[in-house]
Amino acid sequence: MSNWLDQLLEVTDEAESPKTFIYWAGLAAIAAVMKKNVYLDKHYYKLYPNLYVMLVAKSGGRKGFPILVAKSLVQSVNNTKIISGRNSIQAVVKDLSRAWTLENGEMLKDATAFIVSEEFTTLVIDDDSALPILTTLYDTHAHEKGWFNTLKGEGQERLKDVCITLLGASNQTHFKDKVGAVDFTGGFVGRLLIVLEDKRGRINPLVEAPEKLFDLNPLIPYLQEISRLKGPFLWTKDAGNKYKEWYIKFSENEVDDTTGTKDRLHDQILKVAMLLALSRRLDLKLMLEDIVDSIDSCLGFSSNAARVSSGQGKSPLGTPTAKLIDYLLGRIEFRDSRRMILQRMYGDFDALDLDKIIHTMVEAGALKEPSRNGKGDLFYQLTDKFVEVYKKKKEAKNASHVT
């Protein structure tokens, strides 16, 4: 199997759920079955590939199907606790602390789990301590010696080898009702990868059977195989150089992000890169393609967090459009790649915004039709007419200031 994620997208191709929802549900499934088996040595701590993923769309946005797919895949591997349904945070902690006996007779004594729900607001019932506890449990490396929970009259519970992967879904209204302002700025949202979509992936009444049969069984053996891998990930030279280049440039960007998403993006990218590598190979090596694809996939999470926190479905595009124009005017031949634009414009707009901006600018004659280079990278270029008109307007404006 060359790419497990591609196979998952292929067998779900005719589902109405957005492709991004399937993609991130697949990554969450890999993270759940890997538990603490693999890690990346950050020298001051071990970075494990667990994720907190939230699929956000309006009601009817087909969020439930990707959740069920991920849950089914993890259940089939049968190597970790699965917590779903309606719970109190105390019940979740108790489940994490107690031993579970799997169907094969194996006993799980660690606090590893896949917390999954089609509607996040019903997963953990109202409790002021619920999201702070989930925030704390996310940082796997911080609990190498265990995590302790002491309640009056109930004694102390110890969680050993904590490693939680969370996959939930919600609409913006319900999410804001569940997640208060303190959780947006207190770390919980900063740890979430919020995947935001405003429409279905496709419209398909499914009267006829899909061309590709929906069958997850062929995907399970590979998931079982990678779940048995153990040990550290190693950098290849190209991957390490790419990540260092991105990290240095990204650290120079000043972005107003009260959720903390930007501050944690560097580790999120490495977590996702490990999961992408696992979906492709068994050698526990981080390759250039893993880092590049992870950066592309993770850019925009800060914008998504800001949108969900504000309750606005889409940010106004006037300012982002102006920033894109200014950026392209400063590039050679007034063009640059989609990948580079998203990296340089992080915090100003994301991929969804860029798609709308590009469509509008092409229709207005300000931008040429997007083109690809020999490597398949997408490029955008201002039209000669637009540049000419822009320069004339700028010259006229400068002349009026002089007079």
- Cα 261 from Cα 184, distance rounded (Å): 10
How many helices (H) and strands (E) the chain has is answered by 18, 16
pLDDT at 220: 97
CATH superfamily of 4-308: P-loop containing nucleotide triphosphate hydrolases (3.40.50.300)
**What is this structure's pTM?**
0.79
- Cα 96 from Cα 212, distance rounded (Å): 38
- Domain 318-402 in CATH 1.10.287.610: no
How far from 81 is each of 93, 176, 265, 375, CA to CA, in Å?
12, 28, 27, 42
The DSSP H or E segment spanning 244 is helix 237-252
* Two structure tokens written together for 211: 């061309």
* Two structure tokens written together for 205: 């009444």
pLDDT at 121: 73
Whether the CB-CB separation of 226 and 278 falls below 8 Å is answered with yes
Q: Give the 3-state secondary structure of residue 94.
A: helix
- Cα 22 from Cα 70, distance rounded (Å): 8
- Cα 385 from Cα 364, distance rounded (Å): 11
pLDDT at 1: 46
pLDDT at 385: 84
Q: Rg (Cα) of the chain, in Å, rounded?
A: 23
The DSSP result for 346-398, as a single string, is TTT--HHHHHHHHHHHHHTTSBPPPEE-TT--EEEEB-HHHHHHHHHHHHHHH
pLDDT at 344: 81
* Cross-strand pairs, 81: 113
Task: Give pLDDT tens digits along the chain (403 positions).
Answer: 469 999 999 999 999 899 999 999 999 999 999 999 999 999 999 999 999 999 998 877 788 999 999 999 999 999 999 998 888 888 888 888 888 887 777 888 888 999 998 888 777 766 777 888 888 999 888 887 778 766 545 556 778 889 999 999 988 877 777 776 666 666 888 888 989 887 887 887 888 888 888 899 999 999 999 999 999 999 999 999 999 999 998 888 766 666 777 888 999 999 999 999 999 999 999 999 999 999 988 887 767 776 776 654 444 677 788 888 888 888 898 999 998 888 888 777 777 788 888 888 887 788 999 998 888 789 999 998 888 877 777 676 666 555 5
Q: Could you state, in order of their start, the residue ranges of all structural domains in the chain?
A: 4-308, 318-402
pLDDT at 397: 61
What is the strand order of the sheet 285-286 is part of?
46-47, 38-41, 231-235, 285-286
* Two structure tokens written together for 34: 């890997």
